Amino acid sequence: ERDVFPEAEDTILSKLQGNVIKLIRRMRHQNEMTKQEQERMKGIISDLSHQLKTPLANLKIYSQFLQKENLSENQYREYMDIICMSVERLHFLSENMIKISRLETGLIHLKCQKYKVSQTVLKAVKDIYPKASHMGCEIVYREDRERELVAQFDADWTAEAVFNLLDNAVKYSENAEKKTVVLSVRKLGLF
């Protein structure tokens, strides 16, 4: 990209040169945008594969537990509940894979509404509780009790994000006999 003909000249060659330089710049810009889009897609695929790992691992582990012959009725029900919950999460994730791609391309928007924070957070706690209980992990929930916390967010995706945080906390908590994961929700000055 260099000027061979003076830009100030009003000749066909200088005009052609100006148009070629503009074309080169546009093509470079489009190439850069394509690279950025590819990086975003890699990130989305990586995030989805991470989110799919947990319910798939749960299905594998708890289906193996069900094959044991000396299960009590309570254990059987608990394991089946976990399997059903994992199937529901897989269904939710697979349904929303398309939504994520549409969200990235601007075709859909998050359903942000005002919700009670505690309801969404406790949904995630309820979903992780059987696994935490099985692993000997207690989940302690603390919320600012002075007033009910309400915020504007997409309830399903926020519950999924909180679940992922809790799942990682349960999985990677210290190898103590009694593990405790503390989940604290409070209102700060600006958010």
> What's the rounded Cα separation, in Å, for the pair 66 and 39?
41
Q: 3-class DSSP state for residue 138?
A: strand
> What's the rounded Cα separation, in Å, for the pair 117 and 122?
8
pLDDT in tens, 148-186: 888 899 898 889 889 988 988 888 776 656 788 898 888
DSSP letter (8 states) at residue 43: H
> What's the rounded Cα separation, in Å, for the pair 15 and 72?
85
pTM for this predicted structure: 0.51
Cβ neighbours for 149, distance < 8 A, ≥ 6 positions apart: 116, 117, 118, 143, 185, 186, 187
Q: Do strands 113-116 and 150-153 pair parallel, antiparallel, or not at all (unpaired)?
A: antiparallel
- Residue 38: the pLDDT is 83
Pure H helices in 67-116: 73-104
> What's the rounded Cα separation, in Å, for the pair 82 and 78?
6
> What's the rounded Cα separation, in Å, for the pair 108 and 103?
5
DSSP letter (8 states) at residue 143: E
> What's the rounded Cα separation, in Å, for the pair 28 and 30?
5
- Residue 113: the pLDDT is 92
pLDDT in tens, 1-25: 677 777 777 888 888 888 888 999 9
SS3 content of the chain, % helix, strand, coil (to 5): 65, 10, 25
- Residue 187: the pLDDT is 80
> What's the rounded Cα separation, in Å, for the pair 83 and 89?
10
- C-alpha angle with apex 10: 7 to 13, nearest 5 degrees? 70
